[in-house]
């Protein structure tokens, strides 16, 4: 996808690959086209690592909303929330690798932490799934610790949705519940018939 594009020698394609797991060929092409546009806007002759970094962020979350002004309290809330995700990623052995932390708003997000798998795998252990849930909940827990239970925000809504989906699948599809046992009571296609 980098063919016919002037790219700086500082660009590390292995780093790009680590930041873009799950990207389709079209996503990668879009990223490099976006980086080329950013390079032209900056009046540079080559695409730099900075251009590619911004292009990846745009493909993941949309353009930065630099005009979206937040007061200092909101900035602190977002910073502590995102730091909570990052700390979990740095501390838990089976959490995903923290690649980037930002409090620049994009799309509906006030900021985000980019975490990527340590390696490509088609299966995940129970511990890996639990650590993924913990990383999603890290932002909410950080808000609670730093600002108190009465000052948690709506910023965790998508995190809670993702954590709940994983927990539900662990119990209903993967048979990872101690109480329910090794049963599949749901599949991604719908309820499983368990009649006699």
Q: What is the DSSP letter of 119?
A: S
Three-class SS of residue 118? coil
Active-site residue, from 34, 54, 82, 96: 82
Task: Yes or no: say if 104 and 132 are a contact pair by the CB < 8 Å rule.
Answer: no
The closest alpha carbon to 31, from 22, 20, 43, 41, belongs to 20
Residue 106: which residues within 8 A CB-CB, separation 6 or more? 57, 58, 60, 61, 62, 63, 64, 65, 112
Farthest CA pair distance, the chain: 71
State the sign of the Cα–Cα–Cα–Cα dihedral 105, 110, 113, 117.
Answer: negative
Please give the C-alpha separations between residue 104 and each of 67, 112, 128, in angstroms, as whole numbers.
Answer: 10, 8, 28
Q: Is 82 a catalytic residue?
A: yes
Q: What contacts 157, CB < 8 A, 6 or more positions away?
A: none
Give the catalytic positions in this structure.
82
């Amino acid at each position: 996808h980098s063919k016919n594009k002037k790219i700086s020698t500082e660009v590390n394609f292995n780093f790009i690959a680590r930041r873009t797991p799950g990207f389709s060929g079209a996503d990668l092409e879009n990223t490099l086209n976006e980086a080329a546009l950013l390079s032209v806007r900056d009046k540079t002759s080559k695409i730099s690592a900075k251009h590619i970094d911004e292009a990846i962020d745009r493909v993941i979350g949309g353009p930065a909303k630099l005009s979206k002004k937040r007061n200092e309290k909101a900035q602190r809330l977002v910073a502590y929330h995102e730091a909570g995700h990052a700390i979990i990623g740095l501390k838990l052995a089976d959490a995903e690798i923290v690649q980037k932390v930002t409090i620049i708003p994009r799309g509906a997000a006030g900021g985000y932490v980019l975490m990527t798998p340590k390696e490509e795998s088609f299966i995940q252990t129970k511990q890996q799934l639990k650590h993924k849930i913990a990383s999603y909940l890290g932002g909410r827990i950080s808000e609670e610790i730093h600002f108190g239970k009465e000052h948690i925000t709506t910023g965790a809504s998508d995190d809670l949705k993702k954590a709940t989906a994983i927990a539900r699948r662990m119990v209903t599809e993967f048979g990872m519940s101690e109480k329910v046992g090794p049963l599949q009571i749901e599949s991604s296609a719908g309820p499983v018939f368990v009649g006699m």
